[in-house]
């Protein structure tokens, strides 16, 4: 069955950086677009980025453009999110999801807390 496991969440100071990972299994990873979505504490859901199956195409929400970079390693069945210049507004649970428009499977999420 499809499994997505996020990792890398941590407490980080404002202005700091963090790299999240998502390990995929149970499907042919290289056949699917992948996405990152976040949920701030007691708040709604925000789509922040997606990447094409080959990795050649990416898209970002304005709130993270220029600070976050999505990437993937199809040989390792892994998705990544490099987050720079973090601020308090980036505090959230970060989910990876399979596909973009259809978003059919999500991981359990990893918590990123930005605080001094």
Partner 1 sequence: DVVMSQSPLSLPVTLGQPASISCRSSQSLVYSDGDTYLHWFQQRPGQSPRRLIYKVSKRDSGVPDRFSGSGSGTDFTLKISRVEAEDVGVYYCMQGTHWPFTFGPGTKVDIK
Report in angstroms the alpha-carbon separations of 5 from 53, 61, 63, 64, 89: 18, 23, 24, 22, 24
User: Distance between CA 116 and CA 112 in Å, rounded?
Assistant: 13
Within 77-106, which residues bind partner 1 (CB under 8 A)? 95, 100-106
Provide, rounded to whole angstroms, the least separation between the CB of residue 35 and partner 1. Answer: 8
Cβ closest to partner 1, residue 88 vs residue 102: 102
Cβ-based nearer residue to partner 1, 2 or 14: 2
Q: Rounded CA gap, 22 and 15, in Å?
A: 23
The residues binding partner 1 (CB under 8 A) are 44-47, 59, 61-62, 95, 100-109
């Amino acid at each position: 069955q499809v499994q997505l496991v996020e990792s890398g969440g941590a407490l980080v100071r404002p202005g700091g950086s963090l790299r999240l990972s998502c390990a995929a299994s149970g499907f042919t990873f290289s056949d699917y677009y992948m996405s990152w979505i976040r949920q701030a504490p007691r708040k709604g859901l925000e789509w922040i980025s997606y990447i094409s199956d080959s990795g050649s195409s990416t898209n970002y929400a304005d709130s993270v453009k220029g600070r976050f970079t999505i990437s993937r390693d199809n040989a390792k069945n892994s998705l990544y999110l490099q987050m720079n210049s973090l601020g308090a507004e980036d505090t959230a649970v970060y989910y990876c999801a399979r596909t973009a428009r259809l978003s059919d499977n999500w991981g359990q999420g990893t918590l990123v807390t930005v605080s001094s």
